[in-house]
Copies of this chain bind each other. A is one copy, B any other.
């Protein structure tokens, strides 16, 4: 059977486009001609999940909702799975043994940790939605591998969250670029920044940063593209 990448998307749909574009551009660059990347997107109505983020009782239901959507994605029989959203990796982790996947899920947090370890980064700044910066789901796996994970201060987090919301609705401004240039200077003594969010790269790609970036989306996509290279297929 032909290999293909499975994407759980729609969460939100603008960031799904970034995954789709990245995978296709890189597949095309590698294979040339009229090649486009073999993949399946199961693009969900995000509303049911997103409205549950803000309460603990909502969070009790999200893992099962995610499980159901992953089951639908698996009908397409992809060779590996990407969740095109960072926060939902918390829900995936909460599923624990309740989910048995027939193919590897290319986990954003695991990939970011592996990258930090491979590059020998000791002190890292984590940027993402307010939830991703304040919750433990991204920090703890890295900290337990000896990586010191810092987050922007309260005021900075508020601003990043506000900018994130604007980017998610398609707005870019020069003020955003200025804010992130200054933020980057304040934390330039660290080894790397993790961008655990699909919207912030829309701004950060326009800035010359003084520290290396770990972009969880790119890591997921690069790992997924390896299925088309028989020598380095991802391990389950």
Q: Which residues of A contact B (CB under 8 A)?
A: 2, 10-13, 16-17, 20-21, 24, 27-28, 31, 33-47, 50-51, 72, 75-77
23 A-B contact pairs sorted by A residue (CB < 8 Å):
A2-B45, A10-B36, A13-B24, A13-B28, A13-B36, A13-B37, A17-B20, A20-B43, A33-B47, A33-B50, A34-B47, A34-B51, A35-B47, A37-B43, A38-B43, A38-B45, A39-B41, A40-B40, A40-B41, A41-B43, A72-B76, A75-B75, A76-B76
**Number of identical protomers:** 2
**Pairwise interchain contact A35-B46, C-beta atoms closer than 8 A:** yes
| A24 to B15 alpha-carbon distance, docked (Å) | 12
| A57 to B72 alpha-carbon distance, docked (Å) | 37
| A9 to B76 alpha-carbon distance, docked (Å) | 14
With beta carbons under 8 angstroms apart, the residue of B36, B43, B47 that contacts A39 is B43
* A164 → chain B closest CB, angstroms: 14
**Pairwise interchain contact A50-B38, C-beta atoms closer than 8 A:** no
**Pairwise interchain contact A34-B13, C-beta atoms closer than 8 A:** no
* A230 → chain B closest CB, angstroms: 16
With beta carbons under 8 angstroms apart, the residue of B16, B17, B38 that contacts A44 is B38
* A229 → chain B closest CB, angstroms: 15
**Pairwise interchain contact A36-B43, C-beta atoms closer than 8 A:** yes
| A62 to B51 alpha-carbon distance, docked (Å) | 44
**Pairwise interchain contact B47-A31, C-beta atoms closer than 8 A:** yes
| A17 to B41 alpha-carbon distance, docked (Å) | 12
| A47 to B28 alpha-carbon distance, docked (Å) | 10
**Pairwise interchain contact B51-A45, C-beta atoms closer than 8 A:** no
* A103 → chain B closest CB, angstroms: 14
Residues of B within 8 A of A2 (CB): 45
Residues of B within 8 A of A34 (CB): 12, 46-47, 50-51
